[in-house]
Amino acid sequence: MEWGGVVGYGLFLLIYGGIYAISALGLNVQWGYTGLFNIGVGGFFLVGAYTSAIMTKGPDFSHLGGFGQPFIVGVLAGGVLAALLALLIGIPTLRLRGDYLAIATIGIAETLRLIVTNEQWLTAGVWGIGGIPKPLFSTFGSAYNAFYAVLVLAAMVLVYFAIERGIRSPWGRVLKAIREDEAVAQAVGKDVFRFKLQALVLGAFFMGVAGALFAHFVGYISPEAFEPMNATFLVWVMLIVGGSGNSKGAILGAFIVWVIWSGTEFVAAALPPALGPRAHALRIVLIGLLLMVMLLVRPQGVLGEERQVSKLLRQESGSRQASAGG
């Protein structure tokens, strides 16, 4: 019994930590590498989850559906739709100051929550979508969580290597140059807007995939699951704790923060039931304070950023500083 509990918790940790890690890796492409301020992570996560759920389910009269596509198609469609959404939001905002993107992403996340809450025909509204297919459920039966943990971790590793490859290429160095000094990147002839858009879209794709993996694991989604706290803020804390600008940091942060987050749930569960809703608020206050302390004490995160300043940047910033004396 004891052992079963530990193993069960360990699998949950791997699954949720892995799903959050994919989201955090996506955010790391946007914020960590490119400096794009997306506070609507939850919106892209939501699109991924709902898209995949609708794509893979059989007919259900309570909402749009009946496409019955395989799991993998659903997950990819979730990612693609999230990416398209990023494209839509990026075009009007990425040429403007960074804050505008932040505001617009919050806006899109909140608007999406309104849509899934109110458009019954599409998403069944507050009732939520249940019975989302679990891939190969009958094959694995009682060992299903172990299988799903492997599946999620495999996806996470795949995403990790894809990002690492991209970021070590010339493309990745341009992203970092944009983050460090947009004017310099522009001055050496890079189409800053296009690179930013690519980073935003790529990151959103991973968030959509994470959302889809989440939907297929829990089997039931409703608007409540995509509160800004769970879907957006936790991911930010993960990235900051782990170390933004570092893919390993994003993964590490995801697992650390998920352990803390779920740990506080155990503590909350031990409190008298009258305190239940309050305990939930207290958990979030604690996570918020964790973020503040991190920002104040160790803003580079546990791992910090990997040092590999691009040659382009170093040369350019040198000559720029020299000319600033004129």
Return the residues of window 29-88 that contact other proteins according to CB under 8 A. Answer: 35, 37, 39
Residues for the chain: how many in total? 326
**Of the two residues 219 and 228, which places its CB atom closer to other proteins in the complex?**
228
CA-closest candidate to residue 223, choices 49, 58, 21, 102: 49
**Contact by Cβ (8 Å): 14, 152:** yes
Distance CA 144, CA 148 (A): 6
Cβ-based nearer residue to other proteins, 68 or 288: 288
202-231 residues in contact with other proteins (CB under 8 A) are 228-229
Structure tokens at 22: 């994919």
Residues 166-178 as b/e (b if ≥16 CB within 10 A, e otherwise) read bbeeeebbbbbbb
Q: Which stretches of the chain are DSSP H helices?
A: 2-27, 41-56, 71-93, 98-118, 120-123, 137-140, 144-168, 170-180, 182-187, 192-218, 228, 234-242, 247-270, 276-297, 311-323
Tell me which of 16, 20, 205, 233 binds other proteins, using CB under 8 A. Answer: 233
Q: Which of residues 248-287 bind other proteins (CB under 8 A)?
A: 277-278, 280-282, 284-285, 287
# chain residues binding other proteins, by CB under 8 A = 50
Q: Which residues within the stretch 18-37 sit at the binding site for other proteins (CB under 8 A)? A: 35, 37
Show the site string, 100-139: x = touches other proteins by CB under 8 A, - = not: x-xxx-xxx-xx--x--xx---------------------
Closer by beta carbon to other proteins, 22 or else 27: 27
CA end-to-end span of the chain: 74
CB atoms within 10 A of CB 318: 10
Q: How far is the CB of 24 from other proteins (least distance, A)?
A: 14
Query: Residue 98 interacts with other proteins (CB under 8 A)?
Result: yes
Residues that bind other proteins (CB under 8 A): 35, 37, 39, 89, 92-93, 95-96, 98-100, 102-104, 106-108, 110-111, 114, 117-118, 228-229, 233, 236, 240, 277-278, 280-282, 284-285, 287-289, 291-292, 295-296, 299, 317-318, 321-326
